[in-house]
Amino acid sequence: MRPASRDPSGLDLVVDPHRAEASLWRRFRFEDDAACRENLFDRYFGLARLIAGKLFRQRNTRRIERGDFEQFASEGLLHAIDRFDPLLGVPFSAYARRRIAGNIADGVAQMSEIDAQLSHRHRVEQERLRSLGSDDADPLTALSELAAGLAIGLMLEGTGLIGGREAADNQPDPYDSLAWRETQAILLSEIARLPLPEASVVRQHYDHGLPFAQVAEVMGLSRGRISQIHRAALERLRRRLTARP
């Protein structure tokens, strides 16, 4: 995770973006390099979110949240990545746009009344809570760990900081104090030091806003495993933050 603005490296001078993307497709499709799938997902996540935002603004229902649109968009993007033939000469963005928009339309149409009533945010929070549930015998310790885990989650959520891109929302909010921002910055530096699967789960879940099921799809792991990795990541962050002077 490199910072957003930095001097170009020597490699940046010579890398051709078209060839670099072709290299990802080649390694993913023909050399079974699963990490390239996640890389492609990250590369086009902005496109999926853009399409979700556009369709959300044009929606004719109030019962479905933006988070649902984004979830359907991410699903559509994953389907597109898995079905795209890079040898056909069609740019992936053109191919993916239709799949993403189609998946959003299908998802919205099929979403049941019950799903819609249980808000997207609520579902994500429930999932996170289940992941953080402690086996600790001492209920007070368990509660304090859970609270710390949830606080870290709240701090990470939607900051746009993790992926190194500009913050998604620059409006001042109740948490926009120096202390809050400073802790967020410390957290960011600690995320950069997480082992790879944990850093990936944190980035996909909090920065991209993906539910665990989708993080599982992106990373090619089971949903239960993602939940475990999420818990391990937050525990590690909590330990490191507590250990800081």
Partner 1 sequence: MTMMCPDAELQDLIQAMQSDDRDELARADRLIAAYGEDGRLHFLRGSLLAAIGRPIEAMASLKRAVALAPDFAIARFQLGFFQLTSGEAADALGTWGPLALLPEGHYLRFFVGGLTHLIRDEFADAIARLNEGIAVNEENPALNRDMQLIIDQAAGLLRDQARGEHAAGEDGATSATSFLLDQLGARGRPN
Among 54-62, 84-92, 221-229, 230-238, the segment contacting partner 1 (CB under 8 A):
84-92
Q: Which stretch binds partner 1 (CB under 8 A): 46-54, 127-135, 149-157, 186-194?
A: 186-194
Q: Smallest distance from the beta carbon of 208 to partner 1, in angstroms?
A: 22
C-alpha 194/C-alpha 154 separation (Å) is 18
Q: Which of residues 19-78 bind partner 1 (CB under 8 A)?
A: 19-20, 22-23, 25-26, 30
Kindly state the tokens that stand for 138: 């001492």
The window from 11-19, 49-57, 64-72, 110-118 that contacts partner 1 (CB under 8 A) reads 11-19
User: What phi, psi does 84 have (nearest 5°)?
Assistant: -70, 135
Among 11, 94, 137, 196, binds partner 1 (CB under 8 A): 11
- Would you say 103 or 159 has its CB closer to partner 1? 159
| Count of residues in contact with partner 1, rule CB under 8 A | 30
Please report how many Cα atoms fall inside a 13 Å half-sphere around the Cα of residue 92, on the Cβ side: 24
210, 218 contact by CB (below 8 A): yes
Site of tokens 């699963």: 34
What is the spatial distance between Cα 163 and Cα 47, in angstroms, rounded to a whole number? 15
Angle between helices 120-132 and 223-243 (to 10 degrees): 70
Judged by the rule CB under 8 A, the positions of this chain that interact with partner 1 are 7-11, 13-16, 18-20, 22-23, 25-26, 30, 86-87, 89, 181-182, 185-186, 189, 193, 240, 243-245
